Chain A
Amino acid sequence: MMTLLGDPAVWLPVVFAALMGLSILIYVVLDGFDLGVGILTPIGTEAEKDRMVASIGPFWDANETWLVMAVGLLLVAFPAAHGTILTALYLPVAIMLIGLILRGTAFEFRAKVALPKKKAWNMAFFAGSIMTSMAQGYMLGLYVMGLDNSWSSQAFALLTAVFLTVGYSFIGACWLILKAEGALQLKAVKWARGGIWGVVLGVGAISLATPLVSPRIWERWFSIPEFFLLAPLPLMSAALILGIWVVLRRLPTVNDSFAWLPFAGASALFVLAFTGLAYSFYPYVVPEKLTIYDAASAPESLMIILVGALIVIPVIAGYSALAYYIFRGKARDLRYD
Chain B
Amino acid sequence: MEMMDTLLLSRIQFAANISFHILFPTITIALGWVLVFFKWRYARTNEQVWMDAYFFWVKVFALSFAMGVVSGITMSFQFGTNWPGFMESVGNIAGPLLAYEIMTAFFMEAVFLGIMLFGFSRVPGWAHTGATVLVAVGTTMSTFWILVLNSWMHTPQGFEMRDGVAHATDWFAIIFNPSMPYRLVHVLLASGLTVGFLIAGMSALRWVMGERSAEVRKSLRLGVIMGASIIPLQIYAGDMHGLNTLEYQPAKVAAMEGNWETQGNVPLLLFALPDEEARENRFEIGIPSGASLILTHRLDGEVPGLNDFVAEGGTVLHPPVNAVFWSFRVMVGTGMAMLVLSWAALFLMRRGRGIEGLPRPVVWAFLPMAFSGWLATLAGWYTTEIGRQPWLVTGVLSTDAAVGDVPPALVASTLVAYLVIYAALLVAYVSVLVYLARRKAKGASVPEAGRPISGAIQSIPAE
B99 & A327 in contact (Cβ 8 Å cutoff): no
B99 & A87 in contact (Cβ 8 Å cutoff): no
Determine, out of B120-128, B266-274, B383-391, the stretch whose residues face the partner at the interface: B120-128
How far, in Å, is A302 (CB) from chain B's closest CB? Answer: 8
Within the assembled complex, what's the spacing in Å between the Cα atoms of A89 and B81?
Answer: 8
B111 & A87 in contact (Cβ 8 Å cutoff): no
Indicate whether B315 reaches chain A with its CB closer than 8 angstroms.
no
B92 & A82 in contact (Cβ 8 Å cutoff): no
Q: Contact flags (1/0) for A269-298 with B, using CB distance below 8 Å?
A: 000000000000000000000000000011
Indicate whether B113 reaches chain A with its CB closer than 8 angstroms.
yes
B435 & A316 in contact (Cβ 8 Å cutoff): no
Q: Contact flags (1/0) for A67-97 with B, using CB distance below 8 Å?
A: 1110111111101101111110111011001
Indicate whether A65 reaches chain B with its CB closer than 8 angstroms.
yes
Cβ-neighbour of A67 out of B66, B73, B81, B111 (below 8 A): B73
Indicate whether B46 reaches chain A with its CB closer than 8 angstroms.
no
Chain B contacts of A334 at CB under 8 A? 118
Interface size on B (CB < 8 Å)? Answer: 74
Q: Contact flags (1/0) for B86-118 with A, using CB distance below 8 Å?
A: 011001111110111011101110111111011
Given A107-B66, A320-B107, A336-B117, A101 and B122 contact (CB-CB distance below 8 Å): no
A104 & B88 in contact (Cβ 8 Å cutoff): no
Within the assembled complex, what's the spacing in Å between the Cα atoms of A91 and B77?
Answer: 12
A82 & B87 in contact (Cβ 8 Å cutoff): yes
Indicate whether B74 reaches chain A with its CB closer than 8 angstroms.
yes
Indicate whether A2 reaches chain B with its CB closer than 8 angstroms.
no
B113 & A61 in contact (Cβ 8 Å cutoff): yes
Indicate whether B246 reaches chain A with its CB closer than 8 angstroms.
no
Indicate whether A24 reaches chain B with its CB closer than 8 angstroms.
no
Q: Contact flags (1/0) for B65-80 with A, using CB distance below 8 Å?
A: 1110111111011011
Chain B contacts of A320 at CB under 8 A? 107, 111
Closest to B402 in A: A83
Indicate whether A257 reaches chain B with its CB closer than 8 angstroms.
no
Chain A contacts of B84 at CB under 8 A? 82-84, 86-87
How far, in Å, is B66 (CB) from chain A's closest CB? Answer: 4
Chain B contacts of A297 at CB under 8 A? 91-92, 95
Within the assembled complex, what's the spacing in Å between the Cα atoms of A64 and B77?
Answer: 14
B73 & A76 in contact (Cβ 8 Å cutoff): no
Indicate whether B417 reaches chain A with its CB closer than 8 angstroms.
yes
Q: Contact flags (1/0) for A138-152 with B, using CB distance below 8 Å?
A: 000000000000000
**Binding site of A, secondary structure by majority: helix, strand, loop or mixed?**
helix
Cβ-neighbour of B76 out of A50, A71, A87 (below 8 A): A71
B99 & A109 in contact (Cβ 8 Å cutoff): no
B450 & A68 in contact (Cβ 8 Å cutoff): no
Chain A contacts of B120 at CB under 8 A? 335-337
A61 & B69 in contact (Cβ 8 Å cutoff): yes
Determine, out of B56-64, B281-289, B321-329, the stretch whose residues face the partner at the interface: B56-64
Closest to A312 in B: B103
Within the assembled complex, what's the spacing in Å between the Cα atoms of A82 and B83?
Answer: 10
B76 & A68 in contact (Cβ 8 Å cutoff): yes
B81 & A94 in contact (Cβ 8 Å cutoff): yes
Within residues 306 to 337 of chain A, which ones have a CB less than 8 A from any CB in chain B? 308-309, 312-313, 316, 319-320, 322-323, 326-327, 334-337
Indicate whether B356 reaches chain A with its CB closer than 8 angstroms.
no
Closest to A23 in B: B102
Chain B contacts of A12 at CB under 8 A? none
B410 & A104 in contact (Cβ 8 Å cutoff): no
Within the assembled complex, what's the spacing in Å between the Cα atoms of A319 and B69?
Answer: 19
How far, in Å, is A50 (CB) from chain B's closest CB? Answer: 8
A79 & B104 in contact (Cβ 8 Å cutoff): no
Chain A contacts of B404 at CB under 8 A? 83, 87
Central interface residue in B73, B93, B425, by most chain A CB within 10 Å: B73
Within the assembled complex, what's the spacing in Å between the Cα atoms of A312 and B167?
Answer: 24
Chain B contacts of A113 at CB under 8 A? 432, 435, 449-450
Chain A contacts of B88 at CB under 8 A? 79-80, 83
Within the assembled complex, what's the spacing in Å between the Cα atoms of A86 and B435?
Answer: 40
Closest to A128 in B: B70
Cβ-neighbour of B77 out of A50, A93, A109, A313 (below 8 A): A93
Chain B contacts of A72 at CB under 8 A? 76, 98-99, 102
A76 & B98 in contact (Cβ 8 Å cutoff): yes
Within the assembled complex, what's the spacing in Å between the Cα atoms of A105 and B110?
Answer: 14
Q: Contact flags (1/0) for A102-121 with B, using CB distance below 8 Å?
A: 11110111111111001000
Indicate whether B276 reaches chain A with its CB closer than 8 angstroms.
no
Cβ-neighbour of B118 out of A82, A115, A309, A335 (below 8 A): A335
Indicate whether A223 reaches chain B with its CB closer than 8 angstroms.
no
Name 13 extra pairs, CB < 8 A, besides A104-B69, A297-B92, A316-B103: A62-B111, A68-B106, A75-B87, A93-B80, A98-B417, A101-B421, A101-B425, A104-B66, A112-B435, A113-B432, A322-B111, A323-B114, A327-B122
Task: Write 21 A-B pairs (CB below 8 A) sorted by A numbering.
Answer: A62-B107, A69-B106, A71-B80, A73-B99, A75-B91, A76-B96, A82-B80, A83-B85, A86-B77, A90-B81, A91-B410, A94-B81, A94-B417, A97-B73, A97-B77, A108-B62, A114-B449, A305-B99, A312-B103, A326-B123, A337-B120
The 5 A-B residue pairs with the shortest CB-CB distance in the complex, in nearest-first order: A83-B84, A76-B95, A86-B80, A58-B114, A79-B91
